[in-house]
Chains A and B, each alone.
Chain A
Amino acid sequence: MNVGFHASGIFPRSEKLIQATRDFAHKRCSKEDVRKAFEADARELVEMQRKEGFSFITDGMLLWDDIFRPFSESLGGVKAGGVTRYFENNTFFRQPVITGRLALNGPFIQKYLFKEWVKGDFPKIINLPGPYTFSVLSEDSYYHDRQKLMQEFSVILNAVAKELEKLGINYIRFSEPALAYAETRPGENRRKGIIENYRMMFDGVKAGTSLNLFFGDITHIIDFIPELPFSGLDIDFTETSIRNLGISLKSVSLGCIDSRSSFLEDPENIARQARAFAESVNPERLYLTPNCDLEFLPYSIAAKKMSILKEAARLLANP
């Protein structure tokens, strides 16, 4: 079994960067000063991951105000709406409001990525919003048909994934918390449509992909998983009981660090649990990861948790 570790999704901003964004909001510094503060944070994060030997490197998605924002700011037919709670967190997103047919007005994703990171000679990872979660969390005033909305968003995601691939991004995780979260899990009748959309989304995409499931126990949708056309599966281990999993998986990211708790995990305990998991699922590749985006933690705690991740992976690979 090949063991690795990574942390993707939206990363917390450092205290210094937060201060810079506040200063800018109160006109105490220039746009250029804030831009430099963002770049410094991204550079530091990338360097830290490289130094620690992370399997994939993220730029922390620091320019993303929420997972949907680049899309609601850039696509036709959608706008960023009211402030809305993001699942069971004290973190909010601006709800995408669908006002017309979704339209790609040319490439846009690059402006949400850090140039130095894009140019970097290392494996790169990014998260995109999954079409099911997008359809569940949007306010649809146009399609009035979730399947149709998912379908058209999947076409857009296909183009964005290809654009990312062209930019040298190696691994795209599709964040689909709504598939795992108890109150938004799809019923049997919707699953076929979801799978069709994923196939459409991957048409011609060669980068590694995974289905990033978090905020829920995936054992409730376990029978659905083998049919999904992803090269990897990301499991929220803080919500899912491994005893009930009972399937074989090729590539798994085990979300064993709780991104919503400052309680620091014991690396030995994580390694022990991951080993038990690997014995039951028998994957070819196993990545240790946080259970979801680390943005729910302050920067200092997130950094500590990344060190724990590295140590747990070391213990797992070298028992």
Chain B
Amino acid sequence: MKLFQTQEIGSLAKPNWRVKKIQNNALAEHDYQDIRKWSEILGINSAALAELLKKELTPESRKRITEFSSLFAIKLCEKAGLDIVFSGEQFRTEMYQEAIENINGFVFHGHTRSFDSKYYKKAAVVSPPALKKNYHLEEFLFTKNNASKPIKLPLTGAYTLADWSFNEFYTRKFSASSDPKEARYRAKSAFALDLAKNVMQPLFKGLIDAGCSFIQVDEPAAATHANEIPILAESFNESVKGLDCKFSMHICFSDYRRLFPHILEMKKCSQFALEFANRDDERRKGYASLELFNEYNDNREIGLGVIDVHNNFIEPRELVRDRILYAARILDPERIFVNPDCGLRTRSWDIAFSKLRNMAEGAGLARMSYEGKL
């Protein structure tokens, strides 16, 4: 097997030409220049796109514009040299809102802050959740038909959807309890398990039936509440019960120690793709928590975050190499996959492309170094 295979975590920024057109705003000459530039870099014939953008927006043209931005994203990943690719989540509003809009039982209350001036639209569950439609199927099929590399489909998991929502329905259900903390736990558990059974199961099944063989369950909220890791594990297990597919889990900006030992129960999860670069320094301090996996004899694959997604610093390929080689001293190198810390949606395509290209080249250097060719 190829060592240190590179993969994306999922999201890329939406190109300006797409955002403007879908919001019905006029495009400027530099937007068209941007299309020409990326068409050339990625080898895409964009004449039809330019025509679409000049015409009035219709449901059909909106769909085609989304497909074009997805095609650009797929080719950007491939051109950067990644081994496993995706379409930059261009079909989605974002990782939470897109899912909730396609599940019955929720109402949106407004935006809450994530950090600085970054916000997300937060909903409350007001009745038992149920899948409206398989909201990733069209995106998966498009990606499958247009990618020339293997695909990994990222999607938001049950626990994070529960944690990022307000829990009105289940809070009311357990409000008679005399212990408010116990009631909160039971309400959360019931909420996450209902999402797993009634939303994730049918969603995953539909994707697998359509040919999806690698699903990354995004659970950035996984370690938020130390006492709720059993809910994370239980909801994951319920989501994947009886399904035949490679499953990984992406977790970031969290205290990974909290995950143990409960994640050992997630037997069908074969890879953890984690953020490390954000917390790294010259001594490779950011990667120290890899030791946890040895401590608990957990021999699953690791998706090693080597690219910080919150700044414009282009990690030199030698830095990427060093981070990988450091990890390879802790873990069996065959278990190591290489990825950014998280999705690159907050970076421009220029920055994202440079970061991903260096990531792929850095992995190449690490591979050569490891195999004694350097």
Which residues in A have some Cβ–Cβ distance to B below 8 Å? 12-13, 15, 18, 21-22, 25, 65-66, 82-85, 88-94, 182-183, 238-239, 261-263, 295-301
Contact = CB atoms under 8 A, between A and B. Distances in A.
Interface stretch (B167-175, B189-197, B332-340): B167-175
A239 B179 CA distance: 10
A83 B279 CA distance: 9
Nearest to A298: B110
B132 interface: no
Nearest to B25: A28
A7 to B, nearest CB: 16
Interface string B319-359: 00000000000000000000000000000000000000000
B113 A84 contact: no
Interface in B264-287: 278-279
A299 to B, nearest CB: 6
The B interface is mostly helix, strand or loop, or mixed, namely mixed
A79 to B, nearest CB: 13
Nearest to A182: B226
A12 B116 contact: no
Contacts of B115: 65-66, 83, 91-94
A83 B255 CA distance: 13
Nearest to B285: A139
A218 to B, nearest CB: 14
A21 B117 contact: yes
29 contacts: A12-B111, A12-B113, A13-B113, A15-B110, A15-B111, A18-B119, A21-B117, A65-B117, A82-B310, A90-B114, A90-B163, A91-B112, A91-B113, A92-B253, A94-B115, A262-B109, A262-B166, A263-B167, A263-B168, A263-B172, A296-B112, A297-B112, A298-B110, A298-B112, A299-B110, A299-B111, A300-B110, A301-B109, A301-B110
Given A89-B224, A300-B110, 18 more contacts: A12-B113, A18-B111, A85-B254, A88-B226, A90-B120, A90-B224, A93-B115, A182-B226, A261-B166, A262-B109, A262-B124, A263-B166, A263-B171, A295-B112, A298-B109, A298-B122, A301-B109, A301-B110
Interface string B107-142: 001111111110110101000000000000000000
Nearest to B19: A26
B221 interface: yes
What 4 pairs across the A-B complex have the smallest Cβ distances? A298-B110, A262-B166, A92-B115, A21-B117
A310 to B, nearest CB: 20
B211 interface: no
B181 interface: yes
A88 B185 CA distance: 14
Contacts of A66: 115
Interface in B157-189: 163-164, 166-168, 171-172, 180-181
B37 interface: no
Contact of A85 (B120, B167, B253): B253
B225 interface: yes
A195 to B, nearest CB: 28
B171 A261 contact: yes
Nearest to B171: A263
A261 B171 CA distance: 10
A243 to B, nearest CB: 11
Among the interface residues A89, A262, A301, which one has the most CB atoms of the partner chain B within 10 A? Answer: A262
A102 B113 CA distance: 29
Given A13-B113, A296-B112, A238 B172 contact: no
Contacts of A94: 115-116
A119 to B, nearest CB: 26
B253 to A, nearest CB: 6
A25 B98 CA distance: 22
A239 B224 contact: no
A18 B255 CA distance: 29
